[in-house]
Structure 1
Amino acid sequence: MGHLSDSAPWRNWARTASATPQRVVHPADQDELVETVRGGAEDGLQVRAVGAGHSFTPVAASDGVHLHLDRLNAFERVAPQPDGTTHVTVGAGIRLGALNAELAARGLGMRNLGDIDKQSIAGAISTGTHGTGARLGGLATQVVGARLVTAKGDVVEACPETNPELFELARLGLGSVGVLSAVTLEVVPAFKLEAVEEPWPLDRVLEGLDGPDGLVEGNDHFEFYWFPHTRRALTKRNNRVPDETERPLNPVRGWVDDELLSNGLFAVTNTVATIAPRTTVGINGLAARALSSRRFVAPAPEVFVSPRRVRFREMEYAVPRDQLVPVLAEIDRWLEASGQRVPFPVEIRFAAADDLWLSTAHGRETAYIAVHQYIRLPYESYFRAVEQIVAASGGRPHWGKMHWLEADRLSELYPRFADAQRVRQQADPDGVFSNPYLARLFGA
């Protein structure tokens, strides 16, 4: 089993928390988007935009107007910059997979990506989607401009020089100040990555994380997957290589690892663990021992993105990087003491500190701990226990994943949270872009 597997998460979990919208609109262009927002506001309806519906929370739920942005997917402008980067303006509804393909056709690419490419760019940045890399931030740090439709139906451009405070919540603000119609990204020349995936003893991983030549600092992108109830992990080290480097992954080997084992067999083992929970420890141990190493070179998006088809629930917390090892130890102790059985690996990734108001990596080097549970297994006691454990380290929840925090606690975790509340209130005093879930998060 080389990778984890996917779900249709917003539909899996948040459907029970979402109301039936009065209007569902798929605007074909910005003019129709403006008209729909104005009409909804005039009729006293709340308006929420839906990207790919990838969030595990009801952040996009609305009993008013649901805006689906898929048709706002144009590639608008490509502007090379003196420093070698390029500013690319795209429709906010473009899916990451299509964006990557369009960039590649122009010899361009994003500095970093997560491991799923089904999200829209609007949804990905608005919920703080990230990849891994000690010197790299989340996707929202690659945003240099945004165009959004306000609660009054005005079209506003925002960037660090123009409407800078609005820009903060336009690029990472859960759609709380307007509906994104276009996003400008700073991208780089396309590049290749060498992927090295190896099973390691967990203790070796934890002991080798830090230092200038450690696993985190010594690689462009590093992550690992720990198999609960074992002391084994799968490590993934991805590093840039010259464009002429050739070491393609054998297509048969790729299919066996990514489809047969990571999706097909993984679905079977999770089903077995659901029927017979006592087998979970043995299944995880067998899976960890059965992992094989592989090394290949491919264009960066092909290395970053993995096929994921097994349905699950997920909670992810960002903790200070120097707190990762003790936090994992506490989670391990809780799992063994509680008797909770978890057939899904725990995913660990890393990010540089940044200054985005609502970024989970605001002001600190960050480690991300993502816990998953198979869709048919109970999850709440596990997730709540992890939430309590990370609280001692100031853990911040991923905005697109399950958690139970509200405004009072979030205001303690984010130094600029009061500023975010203020700008949201100024931009949308009547709560056109709100819903009950956002009201709990922001406190109004």
Structure 2
Amino acid sequence: MRAAAAAGLRVTALGSGHSFNGIGRPEDVALALHRHAELVGVDGDGLVTVQAGMPLHRLNAELSARGWALTDLGDVDRQTVAGALSTGTHGTGARFGGLATQLRALELVLADGTVLRCSPGEQPDVFSAARIGLGALGVLSTVTLQAVPAFALRAEEGPARLPDLLDAFDEVVTATDHVEFYWFPQTDRCLTKRNTRVPLEQAAPLGRARAFWDDEVLANVGFAAVVAAGRRVPALVPQLARFSAGALGARTYTDVAHRVFVSRRRVRFREMEYAVPREAAPEVLAELRRVVDAGPERVPFPVEVRVAAADDVPLSTASGRDTAYVAVHVPARSEPGRYFAAFEAIAGAAGGRPHWGKLHGLDAAALAGRYPRLGEFTALRERLDPAGVFANAHLDRVLGRTSDDRRRRAPAGPARSAGAVAP
């Protein structure tokens, strides 16, 4: 870090490359942490310290082997711990926050090589902001997370109708511990997932044949065929969506928590996700349905809906408010075009905040109106990294440039539209 800063180079710490936008795209120095990825230790209170390059799927396995678990997870586990924290990764659950709310301490390597140890009792202002730091404050070296005793989830999955879910949205998403649903555009059909926390000894997983059929054949191979057919013949997409919704039928099973939280995703896509106030979600979804039904686009991917509790992290999408997440997708080689632009406008009208690791078209000025504590974060960044060593073109756009960086570099270019953001 000292050598890079002295040479006037920008440094980007690499995670797993899971983000859909340019937040992790290096310009000068790419700092790979894949060999800085060991479990440091787990104490008797479940405080787990891990080197920041460890991927979540390895951390889940390490914790499970020791009788511990993370209290909530997203549905993808390929990210590094540092990358997941830095971009605000979250799961679902009206009483639960994102991964950053489980953080208890961290080590941050600054641009001058200083190692800053942070916790609620040590450098509390840095700790507060760095829980979701976008890679803009320094390089996360180690993190300490609060684990809980290992538990199982009883998963109940089945069909539903969108109007019914919207009419009783608050009751639906608070009915049990972790609720999400997937709406298939051009239809009113949805697939719901309700996961209830139960003791580990109640685990009764699906048989291997049923799990392979559901999760590999139908959810991946079959869905890939549906997406491919829809791209070749867009007029078939509504019928294909109804087929997909019906093919994934009802099922109930109980398994170790991380095996239920995480889904295998083998069909590539591009994604935009906005966090809106939970009470605004029904109208956002209803308006999105009206726009999709009236427009020319045929959307082969379902819309994902999740919820989270309010938290106190400055750059959290759930900062200060109970939140619903709405995520839209298109195939990986498709242009999101008017569909993403329309959704971004709908979510923006509700005060929506974009996920930091996914596609969006907002710049620093627009984001300041969505994140009330953005100025607090950028002031801390100015103090820790005035030369913008940890910046790149994407961070220039969403945070603006630091003072020393502005003096030595040309002005940033204009923000791209949502439909033109590179993957």
Provide the residue aligned with 1:267 in structure 2: 224
Provide the residue aligned with 2:23 in structure 1: 59
> Does the residue aligned with 2:275 lie in a helix, a strand or coil?
strand
In structure 1, give the amino acid aligned to 2:336: Y
Q: For residues 63-102 of structure 1, what are the structure 2 equivalents within 5 Å? A: 63-81=27-45, 86-102=46-62
| Range with bigger deviation, 372-381 or 184-193 | 372-381
Q: 2-side partners of 1:400 and 1:286: how far apart? A: 31
> Does the residue aligned with 2:172 lie in a helix, a strand or coil?
coil
Q: For residues 154-165 of structure 1, what are the structure 2 equivalents within 5 Å? A: 154-165=114-125
Identity of paired residues, percent? 50
1:325 shift after superposition = 0.6
> Does the residue aligned with 1:244 lie in a helix, a strand or coil?
helix
Give the gaps of 5 or more residues in structure 2.
Answer: 402-423
Provide the residue aligned with 1:22 in structure 2: none
- Which residue of 185, 192, 210 maps to 2:152? 192
CA contact (8 A) 2:276 2:353 kept: yes
2:399 aligned with 1:442: yes
Q: For residues 365-380 of structure 1, what are the structure 2 equivalents within 5 Å? A: 365-380=322-337
In structure 1, give the amino acid aligned to 2:82: A
In structure 2, give the amino acid aligned to 1:77: G
- Which residue of 418, 433, 440 maps to 2:375? 418
> Does the residue aligned with 1:315 lie in a helix, a strand or coil?
strand
CA contact (8 A) 2:111 2:389 kept: yes
Q: 1-side partners of 2:190 and 2:348: how far apart? A: 25
Provide the residue aligned with 2:88 in structure 1: 128
Q: 1-side partners of 2:53 and 2:203: how far apart? A: 34
Q: 2-side partners of 1:383 and 1:195: how far apart? A: 31
2:152 aligned with 1:208: no
CA contact (8 A) 2:109 2:139 kept: yes
CA contact (8 A) 2:169 2:282 kept: no
CA contact (8 A) 1:134 1:216 kept: yes
CA contact (8 A) 1:317 1:370 kept: yes
In structure 2, give the amino acid aligned to 1:267: A
- Which residue of 148, 172, 179 maps to 1:222? 179
In structure 1, give the amino acid aligned to 2:384: A
CA contact (8 A) 1:95 1:117 kept: yes
Provide the residue aligned with 1:104 in structure 2: 64
Q: 2-side partners of 1:46 and 1:356: how far apart? A: 26
Q: For residues 2-13 of structure 1, what are the structure 2 equivalents within 5 Å? A: none
Q: 2-side partners of 1:278 and 1:254: how far apart? A: 32
CA contact (8 A) 2:203 2:256 kept: no
1:410 shift after superposition = 0.8
Q: 2-side partners of 1:45 and 1:376: how far apart? A: 33
CA contact (8 A) 1:223 1:349 kept: yes
TM-score by length of 2: 0.93
Deviations 1:142-167 (A, max 9, x none): 00111011010011101111111211
Deviations 1:300-355 (A, max 9, x none): 00000011011100000000000011101111111111111100000000000011
Q: 2-side partners of 1:177 and 1:377: how far apart? A: 34
RMSD: 1.0
In structure 1, give the amino acid aligned to 2:112: K
- Which residue of 252, 258, 263 maps to 1:295? 252
Q: 1-side partners of 2:247 and 2:371: how far apart? A: 42
1:397 shift after superposition = 0.1
Provide the residue aligned with 1:43 in structure 2: 7
Q: For residues 355-370 of structure 1, what are the structure 2 equivalents within 5 Å? A: 355-370=312-327
In structure 1, give the amino acid aligned to 2:385: D
Deviations 1:259-279 (A, max 9, x none): 111110111111111111111
Deviations 1:414-440 (A, max 9, x none): 111110010001000011101111011
1:288 shift after superposition = 1.7
In structure 1, give the amino acid aligned to 2:346: I
CA contact (8 A) 2:100 2:131 kept: yes
Deviations 1:269-299 (A, max 9, x none): 1111111111101111122233311100100
CA contact (8 A) 1:274 1:376 kept: no
Q: 1-side partners of 2:224 and 2:114: how far apart? A: 48
Q: 2-side partners of 1:226 and 1:149: how far apart? A: 42
Deviations 1:52-89 (A, max 9, x none): 011001111122100111111111122233xxxx2111
CA contact (8 A) 1:209 1:216 kept: yes
Q: 2-side partners of 1:91 and 1:242: how far apart? A: 29
CA contact (8 A) 1:73 1:93 kept: yes
Q: For residues 22-33 of structure 1, what are the structure 2 equivalents within 5 Å? A: none
2:306 aligned with 1:349: yes
1:219 shift after superposition = 0.7
